[in-house]
Structure formats: C-alpha cells, structure tokens
Chain A
C-alpha cells in the first residue's frame, strides 16, 4: 500500500528523523491560512500516489501566503497520472546544500533488508542508478535490529568525506532502518536528504510503501489508507477476498489464481483482444465470490464479453457455476459468457451451466480466449448497428 509524503514524514518524525512541519489541507483558502500560520517561504506539494509530481506541476514555491493560496488553487485542479489532486501539503521551504539519497528496501535474493545510499540524490536518482550504479552503495541489515551504528558509519563515509557530517548522516540511516522495520515497509526512502545551511540534516521528501500483508494484520497501518485514493470496486473485491485491477479493454476476465490470471490476460492480448481487468477469485471459492466478481465486472460499461478461466484445485468448478447462475438470476447480465472449467468437479459445474443455458463452453484456455474475443466483437458490432 502506498501512503502520502506527509504520512511518511510523520512516521520518520516519530523515529527521530528531522522533517519540516507542515499542514495537509484540501482547499486553497486553507492553504493560505496554513502558509500564514507557518510564516516565510512555502512549498506547496500535491499529495497523490504518483511519482513525478514535480515534473507534473504538483510542487510549487510560494513567497507569500497569498501566493501560497494561488498556487494551491492551481495544484488542487490538477490530475497527475490519472489521479485528481485532493490534498496539498504546505511546508516551509528550506535553504539547502547538498542532496543525498537514502533508501531501504527488502532484497528478495538475499532475503534481507538492504540500505542504499548515494551522494547523487535528487530527482534524477533513477538515472544515476541506471547509468552509474557504482555511485549507489548498498549494505544488508539485520531484520530484527536494523542497521548497526558501525554499518551506518561505514555507509555514511561512502557518500560524505567530512567526518562530522558523515556521523550525522549515519544517525539518520539507523533511524531510517528502524522506521522501515517498524512499519513493515517494502520501501522507505528519503530523497533528498539535505544539509541545511543553518546546519543539520533534513528529510526534504519522504516515501514509504507498506507491505499489504502487514497492513491486513495491523489496524495502525490500515488507518493510513487514504479514503480519497480508494477505489470502490477494488475495496469491494478485497472485502470478498478477490484481487481486482481495472484495465482498459473490453473482455472481462474471471480467473482463479494470480499466475493463471496473468497468463489469461497475456493470451487475450496474444490473440488480438484487450482484457478489461485482472481478477483473481483466489482459492477456496464460494458462489458468493463469483457473484461479486460478476457485479464488479459488469459495472464497467466497456465490457462486451466475459471470460471465465477456471482450473479447479481448491476452487470447485461447481461453486463457480452456481455463482454464475445465481448472478444471472439476481441481475440481468446482457453479455456473452464464455466458460472454461477444468479440474475439481468440472463435470458437475458444466451440468449446472448447461441446465441454465447461461454460458458458452470452451474445452481449453486458448479456445475460451478466442471465443471470448469473437463474442466481444459480435456484441460490440450488434450494439452499434
């Protein structure tokens, strides 16, 4: 789960990392008030779950509170990477010196958390990582204790020759590793960490991604979820144990298992179609899950055909069939439904569907995909003429 910069800064602040105070507001008027209360030069920053905010015009400087109000008004009207900006963070501008990059991630291969640092922090860090990887220094750390002080000092010396400054950076690194472990982050990043002209180091920007599995177990992390960023369909899916991601196409896909769901999407594309979504009904399916899946998919007006690709294991094909029949009884679904059922109770599932006359059968995954594409084409044409 992604959280906002202001939330990440609150977490870093809690772990003792220096961050600038600020205020999150939803209107230009409130932004002006906040700027007036804080005083001095301000930065107004869009709070959306998207990278490249600065380049999209979502970060602006303001010298006066009037200007802060004006800039906030502009930013609050923006849509960044498809997401409308509903909140801005008003925070004092800093007179800054050098910019460093500090970031903690989980390294899959080593199966350990890892701290990464670079002297070349700032907005071009990804380019630095791609073109001059030797300028990024990495060190694994203990998943219980975090980065040890001596490790932090070693790392800090790789990016800062001045002994006194390196010590200060090492302190930030230890705290960053603690914050990373404390909130079960998959990424905790300070980019840039800046040296203030008045002395000391400040986290000018902050980014934290949380592990969804940990969020599911901890109410304190769940509380960080932004209701503005919610998606009703995705929330509904999650509630029923489904995993749903909307895409742009016209073929609604219902599959059991994430790998098979991805492979099904790929196959739709391979045969020249376009999937409307990724939807994994998971294991141990019940008819209710299937009903919910169909509700979510048919709510998208672009969908022209529905494709079921079910390889029964824990998932029982008769449950899936019952779900389709129930959904059709409860709501009028005016779309062709192509079904491929294999594995546990496939015969029973087929029988249920045959009796209701609700679906078109396909023997294999490939046949099912091709038939769904054909049906979507026919349906689309039929509607236009």
Chain B
C-alpha cells in the first residue's frame, strides 16, 4: 500500500499547455501515472500528446472522472487554480507553483478546508508512490518500491535522500515534498498521521529545514503517537539568522526556528538525526532492526 496516491489515482494537469505542464504531464504518464486530462482555460478541445485538454476543471472531471489534480500554472494564477479544483470536487490538489504569497495561501486554505479538499504545496515537488503513481516533478528512476515513508520540506534534497535510501536497499512506500513555503496545505503532522495508519509503511524519514516549528511538533507526535521507527535530517545548520535561504519558509527570525533547536527536539524525542546525508540509510536500517522490522 501507500498513502494518498496509487495505481488507481486519476490525475488531471492544470496548466497542461505550458512549458512545465506539458513536459511533466509526459513525464508522469511515462512513469505509469494515469494522466486522464488537462486544463488550460481557452484551449479546451485541443490535445497535448494525446491527453485531452479542457477549459475548466469541472468539465474535465465530468468527462474523465479525475480525482487528483496537479498545478503547474504561474504563481499569480495558482490560488485560483487550487480553488477551481477544490470546487470541482477534486480530493487531492498538488500545487507545484512557486512564489505564491503566503497571505493568499492562508485565504485559499480557509476555503479549501471547508470543502474538504487536501492540498499539497505550494512550492512542492509533488509526491510519488514508487511503481504506482507519480504526481510532480521528481525523477522517477531514483525511487524504488518499498516500506519507507519520506516526508520533506525540500525538493532536490528529497531526491538526494531518496537516492540514499534506494542505494541502501530501502524502498519507499510514498515520498512527499510538502513544499518550502510558510503556509502550506499539508504539514508534517498531517503526513505522519497518514503514515501511521498505512500498514505498508514500516519507517519514516523526515527531512526538515530551518524556520517555523513544524519539526518540533512532528517530533512530539512521532514519539507519543506514531510508534514507528523514524530518522530525521535538518538542513540549514550553518544558515545565518535573518536571511531567507531560498525557500520563503526557511528563515531564522528572532532566534526561532534554528536547526539546533529542531535537532534537540527530535533527539529528545528519541529520533536519530543524521548529521550528513549518507547517515540516513544506515540510521534507518538500524532503527528498523531495533524495532524488529528487519
């Protein structure tokens, strides 16, 4: 099993006629994802590599039965795209778009939560259940089906860590990039709850970074409620305070959200923290062994 997406997931692509949208629609389909349709307002009736394009999400859902959407539109149009998908009854919306103002996301989340739609991102690389379904921009080839759940605030750092796991023969149930922005639709805690209930996820790798306090909350949850082996890595140990490190969410403000605080909280909760990326695989193997899962 896996969480959120599998071979049955029917995906539509918002912004499919754009450069990124068309490129990744093909990439997802080549991986084996069921890409059933795309949406670009004004370009309904056309096709992208045989994938039918619709003017509206509601129209696409009606014709194709899509239940998940991935958004590649530019940041100014992303909030509207998320809301359109939510109002069309889509269960899972994955927003790849980067540069959405945080306040706009706060507004979107208020409305989306009331509709019961789950949003991943924005500024997310997407998620993948290896061998079953990929929604996003990650290179599929580095993944391997297995029983480790991966949840991360980063993009390429997630690839690095997934690659570390794969080379240690630790396949993944689902790997999710929740996005590097301050306001995001799905947080560490939400994903950890799903991994907890997934019988095919044996252990979890949590990749955090400076800023906010989501890692601290995740630490408490893992030790008190999840009861599955977990390993963490925190990026930004040497980042200077007050500087935004690329991600809008990665900033140490007023001494809060430092890597050291997060590492302390995780270790206090009994979660091993890798100091360098290559330690993640061995630490995970060790954690699985001591839980009798290997």
Contacts and interface: CB of A to CB of B under 8 A. Distances in A.
Interface of A: 106, 108-109, 111-113, 126, 143-144, 181, 184, 186, 211-214, 216-217, 243, 245, 247, 255-263, 265-270, 275, 278, 280, 283-284, 311-315, 342-344, 364-366
Interface residues on B, range: 35 or more
B182 to A, nearest CB: 5
A257 B277 CA distance: 15
Contact of A364 (B101, B103, B278): B278
Contacts, number: 168
Contact of A311 (B160, B182, B247): B160
Given A184-B101, A213-B102, A259-B209, 7 more contacts: A111-B183, A186-B102, A258-B247, A259-B247, A311-B159, A311-B163, A343-B142
Nearest to A216: B99
Contacts of B100: 213
B243 interface: yes
A213 B154 contact: no
15 contacts: A108-B212, A108-B214, A211-B248, A213-B101, A217-B101, A259-B155, A259-B158, A259-B209, A259-B246, A260-B157, A262-B239, A266-B237, A267-B276, A283-B137, A311-B163
A44 B118 CA distance: 52
B90 to A, nearest CB: 20
B235 A311 contact: no
Contacts of B182: 106, 108, 186
**B100, B139, B278, most chain A CB atoms within 10 A:** B139
Contacts of B15: none
B210 A143 contact: no
Interface of B: 19-20, 75-76, 98-107, 109-110, 125, 137-139, 142, 152-160, 163, 180, 182-183, 187, 207, 209-210, 212-214, 217, 233, 235-240, 243-250, 254, 259, 275-278
Contacts of A267: 276-277
A280 B159 contact: no
B159 A261 contact: no
7 closest A-B pairs by CB: A259-B154, A258-B246, A257-B156, A259-B157, A262-B235, A214-B101, A260-B156
Q: Is the interface of A mostly helix, strand, loop or mixed?
A: mixed
A259 B207 contact: yes
A181 B249 contact: no
Contacts of A113: 103, 106
B99 A213 contact: yes
Nearest to A218: B101
B156 A143 contact: no
A366 B182 CA distance: 30
B276 A366 contact: yes
B159 to A, nearest CB: 5
B152 A259 contact: yes
B249 A108 contact: yes
A269 B275 CA distance: 11
Nearest to B244: A212
Contacts of B125: 313
B156 A259 contact: yes
